[in-house]
Structure 1
Amino acid sequence: MASTLADRECEACTSSEDPLSADEYAEYIEELDDDVWTVVDDHHLEGTYEFEDFREALEFTTEVGELAEEEWHHPDIHLRWGEVTIEMWTHKIDGLHETDFVMAARMDRIYEGFDAE
């Protein structure tokens, strides 16, 4: 049985790797919540999660921060009342890597644990 994207290991890339092309990341983006995530300019992922209030958004932000520290892969996180926006790419290659999609899938999994509308 194939593992889901969220179950894959976050593997660091090397600076000699090229960013993923649209054809290469097409299979990964299909595994993410399409109500949340988009690829912007073939350069980075952007996702917005909605919550009932500030407290839930803050708790989600904390869980994403813990995940980022655990995997040593840190997104830009924008916290607002009832909303968290994530921007992510691999800075070492200034573009998208499989790990960005793995992290996004793990954030989707965290989000499933919240009572969001």
Structure 2
Amino acid sequence: MSESLAEQECVACNSEDEPLIGDEYAEYLEEIDEDVWAVIDEHHLEGAYDFEDFRGALDFTKEIGELAEEEWHHPDIHLQWGTVTVEMWTHKIDGLHKTDFVMAARMDRIYDRLVAN
């Protein structure tokens, strides 16, 4: 069985890499939560996670912040009561890279674990 996207390594890109477009990221979209994530203008991922209260949203924000620091891949995060909105793209290439989808899949796992408790 192949390794899931969330289990794959976040690989840094270099400035010569081209952003993913169209069919190039289609397989990655299949492995992230379609009810959470959308590709916006073939430039970035945007996701919204819902929580029952502010504490749940805050706990999630802290965990994805730790993930971002570990991987040195930092999303834009907007925290509000009951919702966390995340925008993810690779700044070095000003567009989407496989690592953005790996991070999204890992965020989905964090969310699933937190809301299951």
Give TM-score scaled by structure 2 length.
0.97
Hey, what's the Cα distance between the residues in 2 that align with 1:104 and 1:74?
11
Amino acid at match of 2:51: F
What are the superposed Cα offsets for residues 17-36 of structure 1, whole Å, 9 maximum, x if unpaired? 00001110000011100000
Amino acid at match of 1:45: L
**CA-atom RMSD in angstroms:** 0.8
Matches within 5 A, 1:1-117: 1-115=1-115
Amino acid at match of 1:89: W
Hey, what's the Cα distance between the residues in 1 that align with 2:12 and 2:43?
17
Hey, what's the Cα distance between the residues in 1 that align with 2:70 and 2:35?
26
What are the superposed Cα offsets for residues 16-57 of structure 1, whole Å, 9 maximum, x if unpaired? 000001110000011100000000000000000000100000
Hey, what's the Cα distance between the residues in 2 that align with 1:66 and 1:108?
14
What are the superposed Cα offsets for residues 92-114 of structure 1, whole Å, 9 maximum, x if unpaired? 00000000000000000000012
Hey, what's the Cα distance between the residues in 1 that align with 2:38 and 2:52?
22
Structure 1 residues without counterparts, runs of 5 or longer: none
Amino acid at match of 1:111: Y
Structure 2 residues without counterparts, runs of 5 or longer: none
Give TM-score scaled by structure 1 length.
0.97
Runs of 4+ in 1 over 2 A off after TM superposition: none
Hey, what's the Cα distance between the residues in 1 that align with 2:104 and 2:115?
19
Deviation at 1:115, TM superposition (A): 2.3
